[in-house]
Amino acid sequence: MNPVGRSLRASDRTGSVDLFGAFYEDRYRAAVRLAIALTGSVAVAEDLVQDVMSDAHRHWARIAEYDNPAAWLRRAIVNRSVSRHRRLAVAARGLLRLGHQTRLTVDLAERDWELWDRVRELPARQAQLIGLVYVEGLTIESAADTLGISVPTAKSHIARGKDRLRHELSEWRTP
């Protein structure tokens, strides 16, 4: 049996120069399949798995001591996908509030990609600022500092981006 498929005790690691590489090769496809099921996107799933595998590599000495490193990997993928979904849901609700006082009806699970496609269609600075403020939760001042621009310039970009999104999002209103 491949040592990657069972627990990785110290005796299993003896003489193995690249057990993490074997773990990666053995678990990558299953990890991506799980991430696709959780995120609904191949590209997002691949990015998520790469991030988790990077963490696993950094902490491999500790993770290799676990009874079942593959279980750690699955848990990390689930946790990352939940965190991603929460961030996107919060951002989407914030962007939906950009519309006037009317409530917009959007099924976030099915339409996240449309919302973010529209944000990505904004000029780069507007999209960056909307991402920093509504996804990362930064203040406009912190976002401006992050991008190396003045606060008035940041406010102007945010206002123009919100106006454009307000117009774009008005198309999502229920008839």
Q: Give pLDDT, residue 114.
A: 66
Residue 71 burial (CB < 10 Å; 0-12/13-18/19+)?
Answer: exposed
- List Cα–Cα distances, 84 to 21, 112, 120, 137, in angstroms: 27, 11, 18, 14
Q: Give pLDDT, residue 26.
A: 94
Tokens of 10: 């110290």
The domain limits of the chain are: 3-82, 97-172
pTM over 0.95: no
Q: Report the CATH architecture of 97-172.
A: Orthogonal Bundle (1.10)
Intervals of the chain under pLDDT 70: 1-17, 95-116, 135-136, 170-175
Q: Give pLDDT, residue 50.
A: 95
Q: Give pLDDT, residue 4.
A: 46
User: What are the tens digits of pLDDT across the range 25-62?
Assistant: 999 998 998 888 777 788 888 999 999 999 999 999 99
First CA to last CA distance, the chain: 60
